[in-house]
Structure 1
């Protein structure tokens, strides 16, 4: 199943919020979403402007963005000299589906708007 990630970019002067790129990975080449993005560059551009991204990148492979690792590790030495490690991993169950639903809605709105322009 496709994943959505945010690649934050360095802020420039005049940026009112941090710039980012929307990265969609693990999309099979035969997936209609991938085919639409490849066939219609304006679709990606429209989606990017709609969500405030500088660009949308779509990949078949898994793209790991180290800054997006949400695993937290805390190491502390106890009074008796033992080391305590606490690892916290987020529970993002359902998050991908929710985001993909919103992306699909945005894509449909872009396509509807483009159809309206052609009339």
Structure 2
């Protein structure tokens, strides 16, 4: 059975969304579905319909390293959680709030004179 993979390409300046290439591998050429795929590819509308830059079709298995999913010892996809260090951000927010409060207090004092 054929596999579908996405190969993401580097973004260009005018790209609205990340460009990609559709890679179809393990395609048995002796099946009726291959003829339909070849007909659609020859008419040139598959890539345009899905928004891909190109569609590549192979009989062999093509491994795209970027699509490899790391797995844990049990064989399940490994999930990595990244937490930001917000201490500096919190300090900046506090300073800005204190500055804004001081400006409002000064404005009120000047308005009451």
TM-score category (smaller protein): 0.5 to 0.7
Which TM-score applies when normalising by structure 1?
Answer: 0.55
Q: Aligned-pair distance for 1:72?
A: 4.6
For 2:20 and 2:12, how far apart are their aligned partners in 1?
12
Per the alignment, residue 45 of structure 2 pairs with 46
Normalized per residue, the structure richer in strand is 1
Change over 3 Å in CA distance of 1:87–1:32 after alignment to 2: closer
Provide the C-alpha distance between the structure 1 equivalents of 2:11 and 2:5, rounded to a whole number of angstroms. Answer: 18
Shift of the alpha carbon at 1:33? 3.0
Paired residues of 1:34 and 1:58 also in contact (CA < 8 A): no
Instruction: Report the 3-state secondary structure (helix = DSSP H, G, I; strand = E; otherwise coil) of the residue aligned with 2:45.
Output: helix
**1:23 alignment partner, SS class:** strand
> Deviation of residue 87 (structure 1)?
6.6
Give the alignment of 1:1-119 within 5 angstroms. Answer: 1-39=1-39, 41-42=42-43, 45-72=44-71, 88-89=76-77
Deviation at 1:35, TM superposition (A): 3.0
Please report how far the alpha carbon of residue 29 of structure 1 lies from its aligned counterpart in structure 2 after TM superposition: 1.4
Does structure 2 conserve the Cα–Cα contact (< 8 Å) formed by 1:3 and 1:24?
yes
- Closer, same or farther in 2 for the Cα pair 1:38/1:87, shift >3 Å? closer
TM-score calculated relative to the size of structure 2: 0.58
| Structure 1 spans left out of the alignment, 5+ residues | 74-84, 91-119
Q: What is the number of equivalent residue pairs in this alignment?
A: 77
RMSD: 2.3
